[in-house]
Chains A and B, each alone.
Chain A
C-alpha cells in the first residue's frame, strides 16, 4: 500500500495530530494527552533483541516495556500528578522530535500513521542527557471530538535502553 500524498488533507491532519501530541507531552500536559486517546487504546512497546539475520524475529515474545490499556495509562498519569513521583520531580526536560511521517488509509476508515521519534531527555545538571530513538506505528480514529489515538506500537532502536526508566511517554 502506498502512503497518502503529503497534500492529502488526511495526511496533514494526522501529521498535525502527532505534532500537537508532542507539544502536550513536552509541556507535561498529561491530562491533555489522555484526552487524545481512545478509551480502548492499546499502547505497546516491545523489547527489541539482537538476533541473527534470518532469525525471523527481533522482538521478544510475550514481553514489552509497555503493554498498556487506558487503566494503566491513567494510573501512570495520576502518579505523575502526585507530590511523590520522585523520578520526575524535578521533571525531565524532554523534546519529542517527530519526523518521517507516512499516512495510510485503512479499510475501516482509520488512519495508520508511521513516524520516527527521537526523544531527548535531560535530568538535573550533572547527568548526561538520554536519547531514545524509535519508530512508531499508530492507528488514528476519527471521532466526534476529532482524531484520537486507538493504538500505538513503539519499536525502539536499542535492545538495552540507555535511560534510567520509562517515566516518559513515547
Chain B
C-alpha cells in the first residue's frame, strides 16, 4: 500500500485517505517519529537548575530538565523499576524525582540516587548496583538557538547537519540578538484534524491567505491591505524546511534599506540595530536587497513558525510577533497543538507587551487567523476518513506544468539558500511531502 501512496504523493497527487488512515499513522509513528529530529522545548523555558517541562513525542513522555550543573537533559519519564511516570506535572522545579510507586529516586540529571531497603531487598550494591543506573536519556539530543530537539535514532546525523540550509531562516525567528529568543506558553489544545495538514499549510500555502483569512483583512487587523499581496511573496525550500515570505515595499518607498524594511513591519530601532549586528550579510540582504520578509514556515516534521505584523490598536500601530507551534499527533484524526509566543529576550519591555498582544489576536488558541485555519483542517480530516476519499487523489501540483516543470523559473535574485519561487505554488508542501515519503518508504533500520 505505502509504495503506491508515495508514488502518487511524489507526483503531487495525494491519496486523500492519508489524512485519516490508521495504517499510515502507524507507519508515521514507526518510521518517521521514531527516528526524525523532533522539537521538544526551548532553553528559555527552563532557565534555572532544576527547572523542567514534560513534553511528548507521540506516546513517549520526556522530562526536559536543566540539571544542577546547568546542562540540559532529556529523560524518558518512566521509572526503571516498574515503569511508573516519575514526573506527573507538566512543569516545575525539582532537584530529584521520586517515583510514587516504590520511591526509587532520581537526581535531576537522571541518575538513580536511592531506593528503599536497598540492603534488605536487593542485598545492597552486590545485588543491585545503583551506580550507572539512570532514567533513559533520549537516544540523540541537539540544540540550535536554544531550541531543544531529540531523535529516537541513536545514529541520527548531528542536528546542525540535519537543519542544513534551513538554519539560515530559523535565525530570523529565533536569533534576533545575541540574547536569543524567549518562549512563553505553550497554549495547548486538541483539534480533530490530522497533524500533517497544519505542517503542510505553514510550509508554503500562501494561496489560502486571500480567502481563508479574508475576515482579518475585512476588519483592518492585517497590515497588508490586500490578502492577494500574498502572490508577490517568495516561497522557498531549504534543507528540511520550507516557508513563505511577503514582498516588502519597493525601492523609493522610503523603506527600502534594511532598517527601513524592519521599521515597516514594526520593529523598534534598538532591535533593528541588534538584528543588523547579529545577522549575516546574506541574511540582511534577503530583507534589504531581495526585499522579502519571512512569514510562515515548517521545519520537517512538525515544528512550524510564523511571523506577521498586525495593527494592534485604533491608531493603526503595526507590531510584529513570532510564534512557534508544534503539531503533536494524537491519532490519525486528532492533533494537539502547542503554540508558543516567541520574542527576543533583549527586546524592550513595551515591545514584548505589544508583540504578545499582536500574537494573541492573530494566532494560538484564540487567534483570529488560526481559528479559520483549524475549521478547514477539521473538515478535511472528517472527509478523509470515508470510503470515497480512497478514490480521490488531492491535487497538490500548483506551480507545475503538466509535464512536471515549474511554471516559472526560480528567483535569480533571492539572497537566501535553497530554491525560491515568486508567486503561488505548492513547492513547500511537495518538499515536505517528499521527506514524508522518504521516511514512510524506508522500512529498514
A interface residues with partner B (beta carbon < 8 Å): 45, 47, 49-52, 55, 60-69, 71-72, 75-76, 78-79, 82, 84-87, 126-127, 159-167
Contact = CB atoms under 8 A, between A and B. Distances in A.
Contact of B184 (A63, A85, A163): A63
B442 to A, nearest CB: 32
A75 B89 CA distance: 36
B368 A86 contact: no
Interface stretch (B59-67, B185-193, B430-438): B185-193
A67 B360 CA distance: 7
Contact of B91 (A49, A87, A167): A49
Interface string B203-237: 00000000110111011010000000000000000
B90 A51 contact: yes
A71 B313 contact: yes
Interface of B: 88-92, 94, 184-193, 211-212, 214-216, 218-219, 221, 312-314, 336, 341, 356-357, 360-361, 364-368, 370-372, 374-376, 378, 382
A50 B89 contact: yes
A97 to B, nearest CB: 21
B188 A75 contact: no
A166 B366 contact: yes
B366 A159 contact: no
Nearest to A68: B360
Contacts of B374: 87, 164-165
Given A51-B89, A65-B366, A71-B312, A164 B191 contact: yes
Contacts of A62: 184, 356
A67 B357 CA distance: 7
B214 A82 contact: yes
Contacts of B92: 51-52, 55
Contact of A71 (B185, B314, B375): B314
A69 B314 CA distance: 12
B192 A164 contact: yes
Given A79-B216, A165-B374, A65 B368 contact: no
Contact of A79 (B91, B189, B219, B314): B219
A164 B379 CA distance: 11
Given A49-B90, A72-B360, A127-B378, A63 B214 contact: no
Contacts of B94: 52
A68 B336 CA distance: 24
Contacts of B378: 127, 164
A79 B188 contact: no
A80 B76 CA distance: 44
B375 A65 contact: no
A79 B312 CA distance: 15
B189 A163 contact: yes
Nearest to A85: B215
A126 B193 CA distance: 14
A161 B188 contact: yes
B187 A63 contact: yes
B382 A166 contact: no
Which 10 A/B pairs are nearest by Cβ-Cβ distance?
A84-B214, A161-B189, A166-B366, A84-B215, A87-B375, A87-B371, A165-B371, A82-B218, A160-B188, A63-B185
A50 B371 contact: no
Contact of A159 (B188, B193, B221, B367): B188
A63 B341 contact: yes
Among B361, B366, B375, B376, the most chain A Cβ lie within 10 Å of the Cβ of: B366
A75 B368 contact: yes
Contact of A165 (B188, B214, B219, B366): B366
A63 B313 CA distance: 20
A141 B374 CA distance: 37
Given A50-B88, A84-B372, 20 more contacts: A49-B90, A51-B90, A63-B185, A65-B366, A75-B368, A76-B368, A79-B215, A79-B216, A85-B215, A85-B372, A86-B376, A87-B371, A127-B192, A160-B336, A161-B365, A164-B193, A164-B375, A165-B366, A166-B365, A166-B371
12 contacts: A50-B89, A61-B184, A63-B187, A64-B360, A67-B356, A68-B360, A79-B215, A79-B219, A159-B188, A161-B365, A165-B374, A166-B366
